[in-house]
Structure 1
Amino acid sequence: MRKKIKVRSMQLRAVDGADGENLHVEGYALVFNQKTLLWESPYSGTKYYEVIAPGAVDANTDMSDVILRYNHSDSALILARTSNGTLRLNVDEKGLKIDADIAPTTTGRDIYQLIKRGDISKMSFAYTSDKDSGENDPVAKTQTRTIDHIDFIMDVSPVDFPAYDGTSIEARGHDAMIAELQEKEKSEELRKKLIIETFL
């Protein structure tokens, strides 16, 4: 069974002193223990949150060939990569820290300058998880999904819009999970309407 790749976001900055061929950036691709609102239902008012648990990224997480590219786009040039040492990922108490030496291509220099100016200040990561848990509070109308373990990280990307505001590379990702929540809410509202109309 194929797992869905999910996208979540953080923040990025250019490191002062980079010159010539040294286009160095760093930040956090994800942060632990930061409760993030993914979506609020216009039907039920339920707020859907997500949080990444400490320890979700560990020695069993596959980060052997993670790429850095803009906006997760398959058409974007690769800016750096873990397999050749130009992208480095380290887990600390805050989250997953990245530092990278961007390839000095025309695209690489353009992206670096946009990061340096602050036009691009957010970052996102694409991943799959193999363990999560949920908490439902019907009184507060909240549902919280905790990502307990990430088994694979595909890419980390400078992006235009962010989701996890506590990181130092942050960016907002919209994925199939939100679409599924929306569809679930619509179906539930339709079911309630049909029940009401049946008994009228």
Structure 2
Amino acid sequence: MLREKERSYLLKLARDSVLFYLNKNELLNVDSEVQEAFQEGEGDDSLLFKRLGCFVTFKTKQSDSLRGCIGIIESEERLYRNVIEYAVHSATNDPRFPSINEGELKNLNIEISVMGEVKDLHNLNDIEIGVHGLIVERGLSRGLLLPQVAQEYGWDRKLFLEQTCLKAGLPANASEDRETKLYFFDSFCFSEEG
């Protein structure tokens, strides 16, 4: 679990990273700042230094509409570096949306989902809505929906699985095909709005 100080730092880091990229066209480097702020006096147990995947999501403040969401499930990179990279990708490279500009950024809330372990899904009843996310894979097709998506839309387990299949570009009933692989994971989600 991330401490409050770490959550606040990562949310600010995501926003600062996008602003820096929009102005300098390069990724922000905060290695020494993070070392000083989070290792000194707190030991090496800070999750910021763990090799964890994350997703960074932008939503409009006014209507809570999705404006960008990109991330990585598993990573060999440290969490804080992934937040920098995927905040920028989410703001500038989500193919569903035009790039976010500096003026628009102030009207967006940032949400970060830190990924947990990915496990094989054998029984749909193992899924707890709002706690687990889903991944569907078949061939080169892959779809992922974060835990909060099913909760936000009021989906049950079956509809959550169907929507994840559709996100992969597969038929809604693709999970019935033996070639389709199903996975679930948990994530820890936090946002600027609480």
The reply to whether TM is greater than 0.5 is no
Tell me which structure has the larger Cα radius of gyration: 1
More strand by share: 1
More helix by share: 2
Larger relative contact order, structure 1 or 2 (CA cutoff 8 Å, min sep 6): 1
TM-score norm. by structure 1 comes to 0.30
TM-score norm. by structure 2 comes to 0.31
